[in-house]
Amino acid sequence: MQADVPEDKLREDILDILSYCINCRFCLPSCPRFEITAGNISEGASGITRSLYYAVKWGETDKQVLNELRDILFSCTTCKNCEIACKNLSTGTKLTDAIEKGRQLLVEKMIGPMPQQRKALESLYIHGNPYEMPTSKRKAWLKSLDLPAVSAETEVLFYLGCTAPNDFNAQNMAMAFAQLLKQAQVRCGIWEDEMCCGSPSLNMGEKGLFEEIYTKNIQRFKALGIRHIVTLSPHCFDTFLNRYPQEAMQKIKVQHYSQFLSDLIEQKRLVFKNRVEKKVTYQDPCYLGRYNNVYDEPRRVLNRIPGLELVECSRNKADSLCCGGGGGRMWADFDAETNRLANIRATEGLATGAEMMVTACPWCYIHMEDGVKLIDAETSMKITGLAELCVEAL
């Protein structure tokens, strides 16, 4: 299933990228993975990429060593915090690109991915989603959205992604956004046979599967005449916008739903009439913020809700702490970790005095919901989606 990329080319690319790293370790303090391990440098951004660099440079073949390399490479959340630090303080090395190629190399060698992730990839190939959800079950759930199937009259394709049909909290996020689309009288449609965008396969090093998926999706987009896609997940948004072949997507506008909501509000197609007297904080999803610089639109939406007070966590926007769900970690656990990122983030949210933490990512929603439970703060700070809060203000 792996793409036809010779191992030599992957090795060459990895060494080329990491040749810019001067091992200054300025990235370590910003690395969330380093924050939740016992201070072992090999568990942080610089250590992970240095381990990869020397394993490739020295032509490491020992299986035990390669398994150890796999465990640290696949533990990365791909949050891109290290790259921000490197760009601001050092050489601007594309560390996450090297990690992604390192994962592909280990899959090529049949060392990767993590054992727990293999089922997700098998499901992606068989069912078109990583959650082992049959198409019939997904279609049955879609009826609850009460949205039409995409047609020639469709203004916007609402791309749900894989998580919403599979998780209760993400379902609430999707249903709330569907309600907002109806309220704004958007001519929208859903794709009943929707397939995963392919992001999990990229995260887990299976580029060949990713290429199969994007080829099928692009063919369907063209057949359906899709001109505008609005995604629920930042991961789908980033994948369509930045990882699909640009020439095939150039006539399709891609937005995350927080951007689309901001546009609807500016166009006065969506007006909030109810006051929501709450103090809230916002969790920046990595693939919305650091990957695509979408920081203002979600906050613009929140600031238009009457009565709402937005307070920021100590780490916010480009410095925001990852929830821990990215990089394929939804399907893997790592023994070296002594804490959970969502627990730390929930504690930061509580410190603001907010009674609610808002996010615009299904995976952030899931992880932060667990985070408040694990620090015993369920009654002190509720987790909700941006769309759900907007519905409350209608």
From the list 212, 205, 206, 291, the residue with the least C-alpha distance to 244 is 212
Average pLDDT over residues 12-17: 98
Widest pairwise Cα distance in the chain: 64
* Alpha carbons 276 and 307: distance in angstroms, whole number: 5
Q: What percent of the chain has pLDDT over 70?
A: 99
193 CB-side CA count, 13 A: 5
Neighbours of 159 (CB within 10 A): 23
pLDDT over 70 (residue 2): no
pLDDT over 50 (residue 350): yes
pLDDT level of residue 336 (50, 70, 90 thresholds): confident
142 CB-side CA count, 13 A: 21
Task: For 18-58, give the DSSP string.
Answer: HTT-----TTGGG-HHHHTTTS-GGGSHHHHHHHHHHHHHT
Average pLDDT over residues 237-262: 97
Q: Is 146 exposed, middle or buried (0-12, 13-18, 19+ CB in 10 A)?
A: exposed
pLDDT (tens digit per residue) in 112-162: 999 999 999 999 999 999 999 998 899 899 988 999 999 989 999 999 999
* Alpha carbons 60 and 29: distance in angstroms, whole number: 28
| Spans of all domains in the chain | 7-108, 117-265, 271-392
pLDDT level of residue 1 (50, 70, 90 thresholds): very low
Task: For 354-376, give the DSSP string.
Answer: -SEEEES-HHHHHHHHHHHHHTT
Buried b (16+ CB within 10 A) or exposed e, 297-306: bbbebbebbe
> Residue 43 is encoded by which pair of tokens?
């568990």
* Alpha carbons 320 and 340: distance in angstroms, whole number: 15
* Alpha carbons 237 and 161: distance in angstroms, whole number: 10
pLDDT level of residue 4 (50, 70, 90 thresholds): low
What DSSP element (H or E) covers 127?
Answer: helix 117-127
pLDDT (tens digit per residue) in 173-186: 999 999 999 999 99
CATH architecture of 271-392: 3-Layer(aba) Sandwich (3.40)
Average pLDDT over residues 283-295: 98
Q: What is the mean pLDDT of the chain?
A: 95
- For the whole prediction, is pTM greater than 0.75? yes
pLDDT level of residue 5 (50, 70, 90 thresholds): low
Cβ-based neighbours of 211, under 8 Å, separated by 6 or more: 3
